[in-house]
Amino acid sequence: MPMASSDKQTGKNRAFKQSLGHAWDGLRALFHYERNFRKHLAVGSLAIIAGLILRLTLNEWLWLVLAIFLVLIAETLNTIVEAVVDLVVGQTYHDLAKRAKDVAAGGVLMAAIFAVIVGALVMLPALGRWF
């Protein structure tokens, strides 16, 4: 059944272009509403600039890009958990809601720690080659 122009989509996407549009909307919402996503994106961009300056090898680039995207994906999943929990419990406190949000935030922390370790393992030797 075709949707009227004022109706909101509730069913499956009918075309790849439509799916891509929704995905792009999601990325824009992440950037617009999530301060931590913007911070992770900025730090990842700085790491890429440093990698360009240090002329990383292909293998080093693979690790660096993996670490950057892992943090961004973890932050995305954290945002999803927070939104769904807030949708379910609203403004009321619930121990399980807190646990879900804390665990999701812990996942972001683990990804960030991994990224720092990868950054050090990749950048320090590359910096040493510079001198």
Active site residues: 75
Cβ neighbours, 10 Å, residue 125: 14
CB atoms within 10 A of CB 28: 10
Instruction: Specify the residue for token string 């996942």.
Output: 107
CB 45 within 8 A of CB 71: no
